[in-house]
């Protein structure tokens, strides 16, 4: 069905359409983001630390790390050190910023229960353009105390 040039789909339909143009899966993004977090200033992490951080078994982490290495995001030694490539660092940095932005946004609007889970659900299905606009909105909301107070008061009466 089309309405004024818009083509509607089911959520699954949008996911399938997005996957057709995307080379990295949501699960790969989760691994890459966590590797970026864990590597931090050291510049590397270890397979066991990654598996532990994501609550997965080391063989599962190893398989995913191999896939990411094949795609040029990182280098690794089997069950050893994992280092991000320049491509991996850039993408990891974007993924972490996207995650932090969404988490800040949800926190500002008052989401308290399952904040991390809600962030994880949203982050893989949002476009770079939309996340850019949310970043601007978060910055606006954080820098405008009067607006935040008015919003919190509004929530008290509406919620």
pLDDT tens digit at each of 159 positions of the chain? 556 778 887 877 766 666 555 689 999 999 999 999 999 989 999 999 999 999 999 999 999 999 999 999 999 987 689 999 999 999 999 999 999 999 999 999 989 899 999 999 999 989 999 999 999 999 999 999 898 888 888 988 875
Residues 129 and 154 both lie in one domain: yes
Residues 51 and 105 both lie in one domain: no
What's 136's DSSP letter?
H
Residues 114 and 84 both lie in one domain: no
Residues 133 and 154 both lie in one domain: yes
Residues 84 and 114 both lie in one domain: no
Q: Is residue 120 part of a domain?
A: yes
Q: Is residue 3 part of a domain?
A: no
Cβ–Cβ under 8 Å, residues 34 and 54? yes
The pTM (predicted TM-score) of the whole model is 0.82
Which residue range forms the structural domain that includes residue 71?
A: 23-88
Q: What's the domain count of the chain? A: 2
CA-based torsion, 35, 36, 37, 43: positive or negative: positive
27 Cβ neighbours under 8 A, 6+ residues apart:
64
Cβ–Cβ under 8 Å, residues 50 and 65? yes
Q: Is residue 116 part of a domain?
A: yes
Token couple for 36: 């970026």
Among candidate residues 88, 121, 143, the one where a domain is terminated: 88
Q: Is residue 4 part of a domain?
A: no
């Amino acid at each position: 069905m089309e309405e004024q040039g818009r083509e509607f789909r089911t959520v699954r339909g949008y996911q399938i359409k997005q996957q057709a143009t995307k080379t990295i899966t949501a699960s790969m993004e989760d691994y890459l983001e966590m590797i970026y977090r864990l590597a931090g200033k050291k510049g590397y992490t270890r397979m066991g630390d990654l598996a532990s951080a994501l609550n997965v078994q080391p063989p599962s982490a190893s398989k995913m790390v191999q896939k990411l290495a094949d795609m040029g995001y990182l280098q690794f030694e089997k069950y050893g050190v994992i280092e991000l490539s320049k491509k991996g660092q850039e993408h990891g940095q974007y993924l972490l910023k996207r995650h932090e932005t969404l988490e800040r946004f949800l926190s500002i609007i008052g989401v308290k229960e399952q904040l991390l889970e809600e962030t994880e659900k949203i982050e893989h299905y949002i476009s770079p353009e939309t996340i850019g606009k949310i970043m601007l909105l978060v910055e606006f909301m954080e820098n405008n105390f009067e607006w935040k107070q008015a919003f919190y008061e509004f929530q008290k009466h509406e919620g």
